[in-house]
Amino acid sequence: MPTRQSHTMNTSQSRYIVPLLLLCLAATPALGHEHDDVSEEELNAPVDAILWIHIFLQAAVWGFLFPIGMVLGLSRSKWHVPLQSTGIALTIGGYFLGHAHGGRRFLESAHGTFANVILAFLAAQLGLGIYLKLHIHERSIRPYVVVLHGIVGKGYPIIGWTQMLFGAIAYMGYCRGGHLGQCLAHYIMGSGFIAYAILMSILLLVGEGWIRRKGRSPEFYDSFVIMLWGIVNTFTEHRGNTWSVKDMQHTVLGVLWWTGGMLGLFLSRNGQRNVIPALIVIITGWAFGGHAQALMFSTMVHKVFGNTLAVAGIARIIEVCFIAHKDTTPSPWGDDADDVTPRGTPTSGGISPLRAFRYLPPFFLVAGGMLFMSATDEETRFVNGTGMDHVTYILIMFSTAFLLYTLVLCLIHLYTNTGRNAIDRSTTINGDVIEMHPTANGRPKWYAPVPTSSGASEEVRHIIGDEDD
């Protein structure tokens, strides 16, 4: 005879069956969807209202709703599950809208194929979430599922970004035939610069505990990724038997990255900071700014991209060599004790002008990434054909960069003020006040010294650092 506890468990399990079945039903037609031959007239037909709803709905869900839900999951907020469940339901609805529209038709593309991958991705995440809600196998299987659920959840922004790029490419009909290689180069590298900026912002604003636990400077990770990226580029940028000017430039840039990355790794030993990654960014910007292009419009876009990247590198060098030196308390990178006196004058809002400078390198990296992604031959030819000048086009890309960087900072702020992080601005331990967030005295968390008193060390370490990586 079932007990009351087992009946409650069965009821709890059953409420998750319906959304899982809905997701499976949505995946069924996706796997069997076929693309008929599309005529020239259908390719140039106007876009109907249903397709516009599909575009804006999926952009809102994957560009805003899911990233917010992911951040709420990281902070263990109670709103994580409702928000992600809403996102899954809207994604399913948007999927059907994408197959029910009239008007313009599209050739088979990566956007349609990747939609099937996304549905499988969502089904896996939903299944993992349901399993965790059941609270079974607490000491055997559940710990591994927690890790897997976290890994899959952190992939939401990458999955969404990729699918939105595929959607824009499919809408414009780009990246087919001989243009595929250039599209891959521009979109992958441009996205890489934006991802670099996001990670840099996270480390500067909320990454102190993680950096201290690892005992390595940020430049160690920068140099390691640059080195790996350079090795890949060295052997993938040239195809065939004939070496073009661009083949040589791109291949030598790969060599520059892995050799410079090696030097950066060497200088990063013992947690020391260095300027090699920033120097590589400057040289890369100079090189891309000098790329020969068929159109003057494209040449100017590449030139501004190169200058933007160079400014990002220069700002990073200033931050490493001067800002961190002047505006820190005891540094996690092992600076001398004589260098820890803050010299930045706080503003009336409590933020040091020197600390405010730290927002510049990530922003210029975001702007550089947007400019590079917008500089393919097909894009520049299309925009040039509309009569728009390069100044207007570049201003649009900078405006988009401002919006994207604002979203990134808002998500970081959301993480620090929700769920388990929504605690008092300070915690008192053994009579000492330990600042947890930026305060009016101009001493943000990033610069807060780690208390070393025997009575407080363990508890403080738990508060500021001992979280899942």
Half-sphere exposure of 36 (CA within 13 A, CB side): 7
Contact (Cβ atoms closer than 8 angstroms) between residue 366 and residue 389: no
CB atoms inside a 10 Å sphere around CB 437 = 15
Regarding whether 441 and 326 lie in a shared domain, the answer is: yes
Regarding whether 358 and 339 lie in a shared domain, the answer is: yes
Per-residue model confidence as pLDDT tens digits over 316-351: 999 888 876 554 444 333 333 333 333 333 433 445
Last residue of a domain, one of 128, 143, 173: 173
Q: At what angle do helices 218-236 and 245-267 cross, to 10 degrees?
A: 150
> How distant, in Å, are the alpha carbons of 223, 280, 362, 381 from that of 256?
12, 8, 22, 30
Alpha-carbon span 382 to 168, nearest angstrom? 14
Residues 6 or more apart in contact with residue 280 via CB below 8 angstroms: 226, 256, 257, 260, 261, 264, 313
Range of the domain at 332: 181-469
CB atoms inside a 10 Å sphere around CB 40 = 7
Q: How buried is 151 (Cβ within 10 angstroms: 0-12 exposed, 13-18 middle, 19+ buried)? A: exposed
Contact (Cβ atoms closer than 8 angstroms) between residue 441 and residue 99: no
Regarding whether 286 and 416 lie in a shared domain, the answer is: yes
Regarding whether 334 and 191 lie in a shared domain, the answer is: yes
Look at the alpha carbons of 271, 275, 279, 285 in this order and tell me if their dihedral is positive or negative. Answer: positive
Q: Helices (H) and strands (E) in the chain — how many of each?
A: 21, 2
Regarding whether 326 and 466 lie in a shared domain, the answer is: yes
pTM over 0.85: no
Distance of CA 137 to the CA centre of its chain: 33
CATH code where residue 137 lies: 1.20.120
Per-residue model confidence as pLDDT tens digits over 3-33: 444 444 444 444 444 444 444 444 444 333 4
User: Could you please report the per-residue DSSP string of 258-292?
Assistant: HHHHHHHHHHTGGG---SHHHHHHHHHHHHHHT--
Regarding whether 464 and 350 lie in a shared domain, the answer is: yes
Alpha-carbon span 442 to 438, nearest angstrom? 7
Alpha-carbon span 378 to 391, nearest angstrom? 18
Residues 6 or more apart in contact with residue 133 via CB below 8 angstroms: 12, 16, 81
The single-letter code of the amino acid at 393 is Y
Tokens at residue 249, please? 């430039």
Local structure of 65: helix, strand or coil? helix
Residues 6 or more apart in contact with residue 335 via CB below 8 angstroms: 325, 328
Last residue of a domain, one of 173, 202, 227: 173
Alpha-carbon span 282 to 284, nearest angstrom? 5
Regarding whether 185 and 143 lie in a shared domain, the answer is: no
Tens-level pLDDT at each residue, the chain (469 residues)? 444 444 444 444 444 444 444 444 444 443 334 455 677 777 777 888 999 999 999 999 999 999 999 999 999 999 999 999 999 999 999 988 888 888 888 888 899 899 989 999 999 999 999 999 898 999 999 999 999 999 999 999 999 999 999 999 999 999 988 888 889 889 999 999 999 999 999 988 888 778 888 888 889 999 999 999 899 888 877 676 778 777 788 889 999 999 999 999 999 988 888 999 999 999 999 998 887 788 899 999 999 999 999 999 999 999 888 876 554 444 333 333 333 333 333 433 445 566 788 899 999 999 999 999 999 999 999 999 999 999 999 999 999 999 999 999 999 999 989 988 886 444 444 444 444 444 434 433 333 333 333 444 444 444 444 444 3
Q: How buried is 337 (Cβ within 10 angstroms: 0-12 exposed, 13-18 middle, 19+ buried)? A: exposed
Alpha-carbon span 143 to 324, nearest angstrom? 39
Regarding whether 116 and 62 lie in a shared domain, the answer is: yes
How many domains are contained in the chain? 2
